[in-house]
Chains A and B, each alone.
Chain A
Amino acid sequence: MISDKLAHRLLAAFAVVVLVFLFLPILVIFVHSFNGGRLLVSWGGFSLDPYLAVVNKPVVRDAVIVSLRTGAIAAVIATVIGTLAGIALATRPGRWTLWFIGVLVLVSVTPEIVDAVALLPWLVTLGTDWGLPVFNDGTVRLVVGHSLFAIAVVTFVVRSRLVGIEGDLEAASADLYATPARTFWKITVPLALPAVLSGGLLAFTLSLDNTVISAFVSVAGTTPWPVYVFSAVRQGLRPEVAAVSTVMFVLTMFALALVAVVLRRAGESTSGIARTLAG
């Protein structure tokens, strides 16, 4: 029988190994973003050229711009819809919430490939068969695809922020003769704000990362960055993929750090933040 102390040490060592394992491919991508060779996998000396591709190569630049634009629009839509739904869930409990949460859970757990193969024919139906040309637009299609999971995330984040505290304050506000609209703007919205901001940033990063749904619904001319990378995998990736990915990585981490700071300021505990960021 090994002693408790030794078991503890072994466990700690194991955890450290696992954490290193989790960072391994990220480190590899970072190192290879300075690869001066022709192909990503084979090292050809140190170079900053891959980073210049963002500026010099129109295909790469366009893909990044499509990603950023889609992310911004999808985040705004998901934030508006999700915030309203989150407030409703937190302040209006009842039997409907079970159904609604059921749908949100379904949205969250459905494998992305199923969402993707469901959305593609549906967008074609809407755009071609029903004569709604707006659904033939590449950006609209991407935004719709990215919004689904993002709405669920924003709703849950806002709900968990408001549930419990909001009801009492709302009642107090009503007791003090505030109109419902005034209560909404003076109590509910300020309380929800940190969660709204966090949810929005999460929605943005989710959109930046989305590959599977994007690969199905995107149309020629509006190729987001992950789809560009994914379609280039077969032909052999170039080092600029790692460079752009590193830039995107920094952007994502900045957004997440912002979420953590906002939530911390709002008085959220460490594990509360972890729960929010774990989606």
Chain B
Amino acid sequence: MSTLEETALPQRRAAPAGGRGRTRGRRLPFALALPAWVWLAVFFLVPVLQVFWFSLGRKPGMYGTHSNDVLSLDRYVEAFSPTFLTVFASTLWIGVVGTAICALVGIPVAYWMAVRAPVRWRGLLIALVLVPYWTNFLVRTIGWQVILSREGWVSSALESVGLIDQPLGLLYTRGALLLGVVYNYLPLMILPAYVAFDRVPSALIEASKDLGAGRWRTLTRVTLPIAAPGLVTAGALVFIPLMGDYVTAEILGGVRGNMVGQMIAAQFQTAQNWALGSAMAVLLILMIVATAVTFYAVARLLLWPRRLARRVRLEEVSR
């Protein structure tokens, strides 16, 4: 597509002063992005930078929310209180376990949808995943509250069968929270994973079969390696928002299922300590980045021997 563009580019650089009509036509598209630049700078970049700035300040007395008269890292020290560390650890646990379950459940489903299910069903199947995805997050979560509550479906069903003799307290447990996040973020795993599997050229799968590889071998040697980057993206798309989740925890988690998001929210909404809340938000971002980097490094390290082995084999084949 861009051969024309590329040849036009040096021309424009060669003639900076002349040909005003032409340069205007070329420059116009860049100006088109200006509103977006300005809007996102003013309402996203600057506010996020302000969070970093506030995290270095302090709460001045009872009624103030923040003050940056003395800059220090004290809020970060304060943030590392035992309560915070506990919640931090449990958030990380929910994040990692939740993402892992989403992957274990979502990737096979996406694989089936993209590769194994009849082609004429695919549109319908995607629609079936998209409907829950686009249903209000809050409403879906409340649906689980109705299912899991003492008067809810699960409890009364078990009671009427006679398996239990008193209402079951499933709600407000860590298990309920885990179920909630897995449910809420599962479409975010299935949809990108579907796209990743869909992009694997079917010719390669056919070729693998023609060369005598079984379905399992084709899957592990052809389909999965090609889809892998997309699957990793899917994992990140689940993990990042999951770590910052606060709605699911608020509705299903109760006291035993606290997440960092709730602690941050409390600093802003009830404690009115913006400095501490900002420091917690920065720590949350750092924790997400650190976990993602660790995961990536570990995955590369684990796959390295396999890759090395395969590269050698490939070279032998080509020789």
**Chain A residues in contact with chain B, CB under 8 A?**
4, 7-8, 11-12, 14-15, 18-19, 21-29, 32, 40-43, 80-82, 84-85, 87-89, 91-94, 96, 100, 103-104, 106-107, 109-122, 125, 144, 147-148, 151, 155, 163-164, 167-168, 171, 174, 179-180, 183-184, 205, 208-209, 211-212, 215-216, 226, 229-230, 233, 237, 241-242, 245, 248-249, 252-253, 256, 260, 270-271, 273-275, 277-278
Contact = CB atoms under 8 A, between A and B. Distances in A.
B36 A122 contact: no
B305 interface: no
Interface in B274-302: 274, 277-278, 281, 284-285, 288
Contacts of B108: 11, 14-15
Contact of B28 (A117, A119, A180): A180
B54 A121 contact: yes
A32 B32 contact: no
B165 interface: no
Interface of B: 1-2, 4-5, 24-26, 28-33, 35-37, 39-40, 43-48, 50-51, 54, 65-66, 105-106, 108-109, 111-113, 116-117, 122-123, 125-147, 149, 151-153, 183, 186-187, 191-192, 194-195, 198, 214-216, 236-237, 240-241, 243-247, 250-251, 261, 264-265, 268-269, 274, 277-278, 281, 284-285, 288
Given A81-B39, A84-B35, A216-B268, A18 B1 contact: no
Contacts of B237: 109
A41 B183 contact: no
B204 to A, nearest CB: 17
A120 B37 CA distance: 20
A112 B134 CA distance: 16
Contacts of B5: 93, 167
Contacts of B128: 19, 22-23
B25 A180 contact: yes
A122 B135 contact: no
Contacts of B265: 113, 116-117, 215-216
B116 A11 contact: yes
Contacts of A184: 28
* Dominant secondary structure of chain A at its interface with chain B: helix
Contacts of B116: 8, 11-12
B16 to A, nearest CB: 16
A106 B289 CA distance: 12
B48 A114 contact: yes
* Dominant secondary structure of chain B at its interface with chain A: helix
B261 A113 contact: yes
A96 B30 contact: yes
Contacts of A81: 35-36, 39
Contact of B1 (A84, A114, A115, A168): A168
A8 to B, nearest CB: 6
Given A28-B143, A81-B35, A117 B137 contact: no
B2 A167 contact: yes
B130 A277 contact: yes
Contacts of A29: 139-140, 142-143, 146
B191 A245 contact: no
Contacts of B35: 80-81, 84-85
* Leading 6 A-B pairs by shortest Cβ distance: A111-B244, A25-B143, A180-B25, A85-B36, A122-B47, A92-B29
Nearest to A171: B4
A184 B25 CA distance: 10
A180 B24 contact: yes
A252 B135 contact: yes
A114 B153 CA distance: 35
B274 A4 contact: no
A21 B140 CA distance: 12
